[in-house]
Structure 1
């Protein structure tokens, strides 16, 4: 049975409990919102790159209690408030003891709890006088009623004075030790725990801090006698940085992230050693080339495997006012020159205009009112598409630009999200030569696309940015062929390839304003720009002579800086085959082609036909002219000539490399072996007027293809629609199984250029 006094106390106690619960549950702002925070940019390993001031001029970084080192939390409670979890916000015995020591003339002592110290920080109280002290106690009780012990301890750890304008454990740990408060050692935690009592003196990390840390260390060993860290060299003095040594690294990237992304903690993908490597190499390169007027350069390095930006140098000297060094050149628009040509060639490969060994003409040409010239002012005549790309010939590029459609090069750039483009008619075909403008970052994104499967992917600057796939700009087959072509580009220094294979391209803008070099270095994409931010031209700003040496200086250093990177072979994707073509014409070799070479080929897309460049002519040995009937075997021999167009012949002569001119052949004077269809192949199988049925359950079933051929034919080429499906001697049978049901037109051509065709229908049945 309850006593009367207990009965009288129950209602007030119940009411007090309801009030306390109501205060705790009533909505209230988190303590974190009571102050503003600094912002930090971190490297991929957590190293500090940049820390800003909070709005009130303090260095303050709010870190959740769970992420703060337990050693630091325990050391702080041991030093400041051992009964923190047991008192309601004030500790009366401690207050009485502190008052007696202070006002009886003894040594001044503190009796404030962590809750009281937090109240003083939050409301900026003057607690040296009794009214202020009473106000502090009342507000501490208010904090305890409104917030949990967890929230109060977290707030104090983030607001404790740590010297000067540094507040909180995280900011102090970042500034003094270069690490997060989550990873401080026990020795560092003990030092941070004693700074708030005398922040002005102890933040200098002098004798005052060392003595206080040693006293707290003795208390720690007494309180935690079994801690294995007690036997380490905790007594050794600590080395710490000061506020003047706060890191200011990767300034352009840090400013870019702070301006474009919210949040107080930005965990970037930047690799600090690689960043410092690029900065060091660019500084050295500028120093060597300064006599030629080279004063500024930018570079961006990206890991193509996850599209993460690993290094970004926005200018050679950030603090240089004469160079406008604080401008982020990686985000500045410039004419990219010929660095766009690989994407034009990729479109041409995808649209069936060329294959890598197609022969293009580098001849004086007019495209309406546009009369492009090569950089060196000369013309080289016929050359393969691969050589035209790596030698950066302008005439073939403009011709390709006139051929590609849906999309054009302009359309590809639009789909890639290149900003600032004018109307397509403004550029015309000159866009293929770098007539537009883009940033090094945008160009790097295009080369990341080229390094992969042809899909555009956004660059990742932050670790929490997910990898995503954008629009397909090229097929995997075209992207691979362009990479393969660019890997044949020789180094500008003539040295053999070192370490990692590179697939690279240079660019020079009109008027020598910009020099570029961009490409793939192992699994990385590197874009380098050399020029002046104010647009001043310089004859030294030539991609191959200025940007390429810097590009390869970085490319050669990467394998040494990243010895553990595993380089995977670049395997061709499905849908690519290798075929032999005539080296001189880039087409299927006829019987007179003296030399063949391999090329990649997309069945059904890449252009292919039998070459007719090499043709036989019967020569009368008595006159040296073409023979006419009646032929006398004693004075007649067969010779093979190259039948080049007259404009190519003139160019060869002008270059001092004349080709042997074929003799004039009178009409109907000699058998025209390349057009005479009387001995064209005769298809024996498949049959006409027959529908072929193939069983899905029998994957080995196929349609036999064979044909009779003239005695002078040595090779037959079989096509289904426009797809080369096989080749072989006339007497062999080719087995063909199409991929799906439908109507097909089969064509067979011999190496004399004669052909025959027929249609057939194929049905797949169960």
Structure 2
């Protein structure tokens, strides 16, 4: 057989073997190296470079994304014959052995890029001849299994850059604060020469504040000379190399938005991800604004025992979180600063009240000018009180919301059908809630717990006209279509109610905010949490002040502590970005403006003296004609109500306000004069229309009363609210007459036998109300 046949057969065999090694399944070289993650804000600014699982700063970047200048510089400096040798260079090895062992000069290894990768990958000791031989064998093995580009990519991503920095991508961020594709030629060649002696060159350089150390500068300039020989001279590049160049210290790596970044990294690891780059929705400038304002607020309130704060800002247009500050100082262990307060469950106080009113609007319970009762009230066993211990009497729904009155809010919640507040919060994704029976109506006043992130989601839903969407921290998070929890009409009307809430510093603010602000405060029971949540322009802002240990503090009042911080942040953001504008609001098609009587919130009758306008949903909002103002014919001789037929010579008509007895009592207690309707003469007929029927307030609906022994002295209090024209109320139990009482007086009844009974109150106009009560025998 001719010799060339033998050579061809041998070559074919080698190619087949090589192909077998290359095609045999094996893991990529990147698999053995855990990666760091570089996280950026929405403007491409680095927020943090995390440590990898083995505590290295290392980012894997594909060779195609490496700058050509850096790749060429590394090849020129490290291994000019890389593309041609089989993993080792016999000439370089021989020269290195001769210099090291024969001449006794500085140690030279003669290593190729493949050999250096083998040393790094297999953790070899190559200072001995045996170690060097293993390195050569390992390098040859790598060349059999991987392509030249794969090997070069792996080396560039694992080359040592001092301390715990590995790979050109991480080194570029650490030492120059930029991604590799943005490196200048001097910077790229500087990185190319560092791995040859990273410890000495970086120690020398980082100690020199004025530029590169002498050794590193000389090595870089020698490489540039070879670069000019290979690529030709360029005056612009020569000028660049004459400019000073300094490396950043690794301690200068940014550590911004720590709570938000911790949350992203934790969620990424739980999902099994190890992305080398994550773009976030955060805005570093806004983040710093919130951090600065929180630090100043805690400094101001520190002498009053307020030690911590948290806040977050959400863009309602895409639900991206623009800023998240989980504590006043992340590095302060004394306040548990690394705890993310935005993810902690806390009582929201009254910040949930807007959603109660929105649900009430949706279910036809009220409209913004519906007049509600702020009077002593019981709701089953629950008897709420107002924060200030006072009662205002009749108050519009808007005033009740912005003045955070508890009694009206609980009444509205008690009228909700499906969904009620509990079902609404469950649908909105509020997690880890106890049973509905556990909260009862106390949920209205902050009896449950939510996180700041959940609260921000709710307020963003309100700003987005009732459509709930999840918050986003990662730019690649999908933008959900959302689910509607409130009607557009109810959301619009509720926001309009919140807009009328005057800011706490209104009297001292020279220039009010140029955009309307929709906001609500909250104070938890025991003064543990002070909240303010709201929206302005495209943003939702939520702030919290308190202490992570839950200690109560009288200074933690929403309107006094949290609201000033909320407005300082809002004002700072509006001043920072003059382009911010109010979203394009349009009045929903089904919302109308109607005239109502201001005293009652109902449609005005002919005698209503003061009228105003309110938003109204035809077919849904409650509608009836006001009967507070009624005409009464007065007998001029007696001053009493005249009896029909009326003699024009001895009668005149006057309009009186007919307030229910509970409201009349509040007016009297507050010292607000109200002219009482005149007493009715002996006419035996109604004076002015039918008026309002009695409304039993005690016995409490759903409550059980105890009977202890045969001679028990426990008595049940009977109370009722009646129309202003009523002078007497008659009480019956199971149709048996019990007694009579004047309006506002309490009648006591003692049960004789256990069981269910029906109490009935009838006024002197024949109008009545009934209530079932249960008597339980107790030994």
TM-score by length of 1: 0.83
For 1:157, what is the secondary structure of its paired residue? Answer: helix
How far 1:369 sits from its partner (Å)? 1.8
Would you say the 8 A contact 1:416–1:471 is kept in 2? no
Asked whether 1:587 is paired with 2:602, we answer yes
1:745-756 pair list within 5 angstroms: none
Give the C-alpha shift of residue 452 in structure 1. 0.8
2:32 pairs with 16, 31, 34, which one?
A: 34
Answer yes or no: is the 8 Å Cα contact 1:627–1:669 preserved in 2: no
Asked if residue 294 in structure 1 is aligned to residue 313 in structure 2, the reply is no
1:552 shift after superposition: 1.0
Tell me the distance in 2 between the aligned counterparts of 1:85 and 1:558. Answer: 56
CA RMSD, aligned part only?
A: 2.4
Mapped pair 1:182 → 2:194: no
2:57 counterpart residue number? 59
Aligned equivalent of 2:160:
161
SS of 2:25's partner is: coil
Q: Residue 217 of structure 2 corresponds to which residue in structure 1?
A: 210
Correspondence 1:326 to 2:331: no
Task: Note the C-alpha offset of 1:66.
Answer: 2.8
Q: Is the Cα contact below 8 Å between 2:630 and 2:688 reproduced in 1?
A: no
SS in 1 for 2:7: helix
* Inter-CA distance 563–138: structure 2 relative to 1 (3 Å threshold): farther
For 1:498 and 1:227, locate their aligned partners in 2 and report how far apart those are by CA, in whole Å: 56
CA distance in 1, matches of 2:320, 2:394: 41
Match of 2:472 in 1: 460
In structure 2, distance between residues paired with 1:142 and 1:572: 73
Contact 1:649–1:658, Cα closer than 8 Å, also in 2: no
Contact 1:47 1:178 in 2 (8 A): no
SS at match of 1:616: strand
**How many residues were matched structurally?**
673
Matched, 1:243 2:243: no
Does the CA-based 8 Å contact 1:214-1:235 persist in structure 2?
Answer: no
Pair 1:402-2:411 in alignment:
no
What is the alpha-carbon distance in structure 2 between the residues aligned to residue 355 and residue 548 of structure 1? 26
Kept in 1, the 8 Å contact 2:313–2:322? The answer is: yes
Change (3 A) 1:121 1:302: same
Which of the numbers 431, 443, 447 marks the counterpart of 1:431? 443
Instruction: Give, in whole Å, the separation in 2 of the partners of 1:670 and 1:326.
Output: 71
- Which residue in the other structure is 1:141 paired with? 140
Assess if the C-alpha contact under 8 Å between 1:500 and 1:522 holds in 2.
Answer: yes
Which of 628, 631, 635 is matched with 1:616 structurally?
631
Q: Which residue does 2:260 correspond to in 1?
A: 253
Q: Distance in 2 between matches of 1:487 and 1:367?
A: 30
Do residues 305 (structure 1) and 317 (structure 2) align? yes
Of 61, 72, 75 in structure 2, the residue corresponding to residue 74 of structure 1 is: 72
Which secondary structure does the structure 2 equivalent of 1:300 belong to?
strand
Instruction: For 1:317 and 1:628, locate their aligned partners in 2 and report how far apart those are by CA, in whole Å.
Output: 77
SS at match of 1:297: strand
- Does 2:538 correspond to 1:523? yes
2:10 counterpart of 1:9 = no
Change (3 A) 1:430 1:227: farther
Aligned counterpart for 2:663 among listed residues 644, 648, 663: 648
Residue number in structure 1 paired with 2:120: 121
The secondary structure found in structure 2 opposite 1:182 is helix
1:288-320 alpha-carbon deviations (Å, 9 max, x no partner): 111111111111111111111111111112222
* Structure 1 segments unaligned to the other structure (5+ residues): 676-766
Q: 1:535 to 1:643 in 2, by over 3 A?
A: same
* Superposed displacement of residue 562, structure 1: 2.8
Question: In structure 2, the residue corresponding to 1:322 is in which secondary structure?
Answer: helix
Give the SS at the match of 2:356.
helix
Task: Summarize the alignment of residues 202-601 of structure 1 with structure 2, pairs less than 5 Å apart.
Answer: 202-204=201-203, 205=205, 206-225=213-232, 230=237, 232-262=239-269, 263-264=273-274, 265=276, 266-494=278-506, 495=509, 497-601=512-616
Seen in structure 2, the aligned counterparts of structure 1 residues 149 and 574 have a Cα distance that, compared at 3 Å, is farther
CA contact (8 A) 2:346 2:451 kept: yes
- The 2-side partners of 1:463 and 1:273 are apart by 17
- 1:737 paired residue number: none
- Could you tell me which runs of 5 or more consecutive residues in structure 2 were left unpaired when the two chains were aligned: 206-212, 692-779
Identify which range, 278-287 or 491-500, moves more after superposition. Answer: 491-500
CA positional deviation for 1:437: 1.1
- The corresponding residue for 1:193 is 192
Structure 1's 228 and 143: CA in aligned 2 closer, same or farther, altered over 3 A? farther
The alpha-carbon deviation at position 232 of structure 1 amounts to 4.6
* Change in CA separation of 1:600 and 1:223 when aligned onto 2, cut-off 3 Å: farther
